[in-house]
């Protein structure tokens, strides 16, 4: 799953960045927190240096300046000056147990670590060596020795340290990330299924159990709603089918007897003409209920479809030929402009023929004084949609009627009904187009006059053979 890979990638990147920031933060802490109070102020080295520089000979005895004395006093330290022969020439608060004479071994020892457990620090003086002693246990002295090779390779070693750190961070973050993803994956799949309106049943154990439970609940609600909606659609569609079924039998009798009266030569001409009117109106009712049934099946997506790749141009030609064969009045003139005839769309032949027929019929019905009708097929500019355009130069439709003409009559969006026809023709075409993932666009030209109906269908690409 692509989404999960993206999550994992981001997770790892974030982890590495966080590790880096943590490392830098630690360095800062090391400087500010750990190595901050390593010495008291002033540092022993500084103090012994200052002492050595301020110690000078005055009237046969050594004397330090007042500042050094104050410092010594504040730190409770003692001090002495050992001359070149190893004898103490000057001292300050020297503890009793400290010897007053040193050989070279003693000096070597004390210069490194302690003198009688007193941590001592030394500094060079023109007359010998200044020794500064701190109270016992106040300082720890450690000697660090490094191979010079080691020192040289230190940057490389630090680099290795860094790299190993990164590797470990990466490894751990991938492991944690994968485990997290393993927990998330079913949830992600569940949410994706929800989007596709599929039933979801997730395991509700683990840390994300709450979430899984919510997703399951959401799925149940969605499924229930879908089922309820489907049941309602089915009920409505069945209701319309039932009503139209029940109308058929009485209508049979209306048609039957009226046409019998119409043909009865014993009746006066006037009565026969009236019977003919009853018969014609009955036929209108008949076409209305069959249209109503089809529209309701299309509306609730219950019309069985027989989809296959077909050429819209061939259907357009067929529809026009049917009109001419059935005797189109001479006041009408049909012009065919078919292009890109090889293009196929996926469709139900009967429904599409019905749609084209309805559109041409529409031009004929609304322009009884005659008009010229153009049937055109072409590809749109993107070459992804195939268009069937039916245009007439008749009286057209006003703009406000155009907006609602594809709505079902008597529905909320279309309160006014049309004068001619039962008003199901264009809604049916719009629904047929929608069933084919296409659309119906209606334009009425205020200047050029006439109505233009454009049917738009997605082109069937994988079946573009034998051009």
Binding site for another protein (CB under 8 A): 245-246, 248-249, 251-257, 259-260, 263, 279, 282-283, 285-286, 290, 293, 304, 311, 313-314, 317-318, 320-321, 324-325, 336, 338, 341-342, 465-467
CB of 251 to another protein, least distance (A): 4
- Cβ closest to another protein, residue 379 vs residue 418: 379
CB of 324 to another protein, least distance (A): 6
Encoding tokens for residue 276?
């003919």
Alpha helix (H) residue ranges in 367-440: 399-404, 425-435
Q: How far apart are CA 94 and CA 115, in angstroms?
A: 12
CB of 227 to another protein, least distance (A): 24
Cβ atoms of 460 and 380 closer than 8 Å:
no
- Cβ closest to another protein, residue 222 vs residue 336: 336
Residue whose structure tokens are 């470990």: 168
- Cβ closest to another protein, residue 72 vs residue 320: 320
Q: Is the peptide bond before 400 cis (omega within 30 degrees of 0)?
A: no
Alpha helix (H) residue ranges in 196-268: 209-263
CB of 388 to another protein, least distance (A): 15
- Cβ closest to another protein, residue 286 vs residue 434: 286
CB of 416 to another protein, least distance (A): 29
Nearest to 449 by CA among 392, 407, 402, 401: 392
Strands, sheet with 118-125, edge to edge from the N-terminal-most edge strand: 88-92, 78-83, 128-133, 118-125, 114-115
CB of 330 to another protein, least distance (A): 16
- Cβ closest to another protein, residue 189 vs residue 336: 336
What is the SS3 assignment for 367? coil
* DSSP single-letter state for residue 87: B
- Cβ closest to another protein, residue 113 vs residue 239: 239
Helix (H) or strand (E) holding 114: strand 114-115
Cβ atoms of 275 and 268 closer than 8 Å:
no
Phi-psi group of 292: left, alpha or beta (phi > 0 → left; psi -120 to 50 → alpha; rest → beta) = alpha
What is the SS3 assignment for 331? coil
CB of 259 to another protein, least distance (A): 6
- Cβ closest to another protein, residue 350 vs residue 415: 350
DSSP secondary structure of 47-58? HHHHHHHH-EEE
- Cβ closest to another protein, residue 127 vs residue 340: 340
CB of 396 to another protein, least distance (A): 25
CB of 365 to another protein, least distance (A): 22
Nearest 5°: CA angle at 66, between 61 and 68? Answer: 90
- Cβ closest to another protein, residue 400 vs residue 466: 466
- Cβ closest to another protein, residue 174 vs residue 297: 297
- Cβ closest to another protein, residue 282 vs residue 396: 282
Nearest to 74 by CA among 101, 103, 51: 51
Nearest to 82 by CA among 69, 66, 68, 94: 94
The values of phi and psi at residue 413, to 5°, are -85, -5
CB of 424 to another protein, least distance (A): 15
Torsion, Cα 153 157 163 166, to 10 degrees, reads -150
- Cβ closest to another protein, residue 216 vs residue 296: 296
Look at strands 88-92 and 114-115 and give their pairing: unpaired
* DSSP single-letter state for residue 408: P
CB of 371 to another protein, least distance (A): 19
Q: How far apart are CA 401 and CA 256, in angstroms?
A: 37
E strands of 300-435, at which residues?
307-311, 333-338, 344-348, 372-379, 385-392
CB of 248 to another protein, least distance (A): 4
């Amino acid at each position: 799953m692509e989404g999960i890979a993206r999550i994992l990638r981001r997770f790892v990147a974030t982890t590495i960045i966080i590790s880096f920031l943590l490392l830098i933060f630690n360095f800062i802490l090391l400087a500010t927190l750990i190595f901050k109070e390593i010495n008291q102020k002033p540092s022993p080295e500084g103090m012994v240096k200052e002492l050595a520089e301020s110690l000078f000979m005055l009237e046969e005895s050594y004397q330090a300046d007042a500042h050094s004395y104050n410092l010594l006093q504040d730190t409770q330290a003692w001090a002495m000056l050992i001359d070149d022969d190893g004898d103490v020439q000057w001292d300050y608060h020297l503890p009793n147990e400290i010897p007053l004479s040193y050989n070279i071994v003693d000096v070597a020892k004390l210069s490194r670590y302690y003198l009688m457990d007193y941590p001592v620090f030394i500094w060079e003086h023109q007359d010998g060596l200044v020794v500064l002693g701190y109270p016992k246990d106040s300082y720890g002295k450690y000697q660090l020795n490094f191979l010079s090779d080691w020192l040289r390779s230190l940057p490389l070693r630090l680099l290795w340290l860094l790299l190993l750190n990164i590797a470990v961070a990466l490894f751990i973050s991938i492991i944690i990330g994968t485990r997290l993803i393993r927990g998330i994956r079913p949830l992600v799949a569940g949410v994706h299924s929800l989007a596709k309106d599929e039933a979801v049943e997730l395991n509700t154990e683990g840390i994300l159990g709450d979430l899984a439970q919510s997703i399951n609940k959401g799925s149940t609600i969605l499924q229930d709603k879908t089922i309820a909606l489907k049941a309602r659609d089915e009920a409505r569609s069945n209701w319309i089918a039932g009503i139209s079924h029940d109308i058929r039998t009485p209508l049979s009798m209306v048609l039957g007897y009226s046409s019998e009266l119409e043909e009865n030569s014993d009746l006066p001409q006037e009565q026969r003409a009236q019977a003919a009117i009853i018969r014609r109106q009955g036929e209108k009712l008949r076409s209305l209920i069959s249209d109503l049934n089809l529209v309701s099946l299309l509306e609730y997506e219950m019309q069985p479809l027989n989809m296959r790749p077909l050429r819209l141009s061939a259907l357009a030609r067929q529809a026009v030929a049917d009109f001419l064969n059935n005797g189109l009045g001479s006041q009408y003139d049909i012009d065919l402009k078919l292009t890109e005839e090889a293009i196929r769309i996926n469709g139900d032949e009967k429904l599409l023929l019905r749609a084209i027929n309805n559109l041409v019929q529409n031009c004929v019905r609304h322009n009884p004084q005659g008009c010229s009708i153009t049937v055109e097929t072409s590809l749109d500019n993107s070459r992804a949609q195939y268009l069937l355009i039916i245009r007439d130069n008749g009286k057209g439709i006003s703009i406000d009627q155009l907006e609602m003409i594809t709505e079902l009559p008597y529905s909320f969006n279309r309160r006014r009904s049309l004068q001619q026809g039962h008003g199901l023709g264009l809604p049916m075409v719009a629904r047929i187009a929608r069933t084919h993932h296409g659309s119906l666009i209606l334009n009425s030209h205020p200047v050029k006059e006439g109505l233009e109906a454009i049917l738009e269908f997605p082109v069937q690409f994988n079946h573009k053979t034998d051009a």
